[in-house]
């Protein structure tokens, strides 16, 4: 009867030892949940490494996960998993790839059209090299005017749009001039196109050409 008893003792002893060792797969799952939460606030994807299954650590009831370096949370970096109870810590490599997003036209547009919310959408760029000059926010595209036409599916680049013109060449405009203690309002004709906040030259009724800044109400303001 000694042999069965010895076998049973060894089996029970092995079970206890196994239970006392940390499950590496459980730590990886914990790290994965940490990363899911981290990238949920970012336009990024990640790929976790794997822990060495040959590593033997005491089981931890409440392991903690954090960045090994909080100043480096992108690219090739790592997490640190710590067991406050047992005092051990291990690193887990992770690669974080920031997504490159760009604005795409959802329909064909013509030159001079002012973009509306339904005309554009934000799309992930598979090739980061394509990101140059591509507008990366829908808010920066809506309300802009097209310099030239473009088909649906085109990436919307900075040079393809401009702020809508508040003043156009040949258009009658009011010109305001003000200074210390005086204010004058006159009329003239714009010599070019300009958006709010841009400078434009105006020919006054007297024939004099002046240059001023276009205001939100369409007037051209001169400063002295």
Same domain (yes/no): 44, 91: yes
Same domain (yes/no): 154, 209: no
Same domain (yes/no): 40, 92: yes
Nearest to 68 by CA among 96, 89, 43, 97: 89
Nearest to 201 by CA among 186, 183, 222: 222
Same domain (yes/no): 77, 117: no
Residue 216 maps to which CATH number? 2.30.30.760
CA dist., res. 190 & res. 72, Å (int): 53
Question: What tens digit of pLDDT does each residue of 57-94 get?
Answer: 999 999 999 999 999 998 899 999 999 988 999 999 99
Residue 5 lies in a domain: no
CB atoms under 10 Å from CB of 131, counted, come to 13
Query: Which of 98, 125, 147 is the endpoint of a domain?
Result: 98
- Is the confidence at residue 16, as pLDDT, over 80? no
* Domain, as residue range, for 175: 165-223
- Is the confidence at residue 20, as pLDDT, over 90? no
Residue 11 lies in a domain: no
As for how many domains the chain has, the answer is: 3
Residue 149 lies in a domain: yes
In the prediction, which pLDDT does 6 show?
Answer: 36
Same domain (yes/no): 154, 196: no
The residue behind tokens 């369409």 is: 218
pLDDT band for 17, please (50, 70, 90 cuts).
Answer: very low
CA dist., res. 116 & res. 143, Å (int): 6
Give the chain's length: 224
Q: pTM value?
A: 0.51
Same domain (yes/no): 75, 129: no
Query: Which of 146, 162, 178 is the endpoint of a domain?
Result: 162
Same domain (yes/no): 133, 172: no
Q: What is the dihedral of CA 8, 9, 15, 20, to 10 degrees?
A: 170
- Give buried/exposed letters for 47-86 (b at 16+ CB in 10 A, else e): ebeebeeeeebeebeebebebbeeeebeeebebebbbeee
């Amino acid at each position: 009867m000694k042999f069965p008893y010895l076998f049973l003792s060894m089996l029970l002893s092995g079970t206890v030892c196994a239970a006392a060792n940390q499950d590496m797969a459980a730590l990886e799952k914990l790290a994965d949940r940490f990363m899911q939460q981290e990238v949920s606030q970012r336009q990024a994807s990640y790929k976790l490494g794997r822990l060495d299954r040959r590593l033997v650590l005491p089981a931890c009831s409440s392991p903690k996960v954090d960045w090994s370096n909080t100043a480096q949370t992108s690219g090739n970096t790592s997490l640190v998993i710590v067991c406050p109870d047992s005092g051990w810590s291990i690193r887990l490599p992770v690669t974080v790839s920031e997504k490159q997003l760009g604005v795409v036209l959802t329909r064909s547009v013509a030159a001079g059209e002012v973009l509306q919310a339904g005309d554009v959408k934000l799309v992930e760029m598979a090739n980061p090299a394509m990101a140059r000059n591509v507008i990366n926010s829908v808010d920066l595209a809506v309300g802009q005017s097209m310099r030239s036409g473009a088909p649906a599916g085109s990436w919307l680049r900075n040079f393809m749009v401009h702020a809508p013109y508040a003043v156009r060449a040949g258009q009658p405009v009011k010109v305001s001039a003000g200074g210390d203690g005086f204010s004058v309002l006159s009329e003239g004709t714009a010599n070019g196109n300009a958006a709010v906040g841009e400078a434009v030259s105006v020919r006054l009724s007297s024939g004099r050409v002046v240059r001023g800044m276009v205001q939100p109400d369409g007037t051209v303001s001169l400063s002295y």
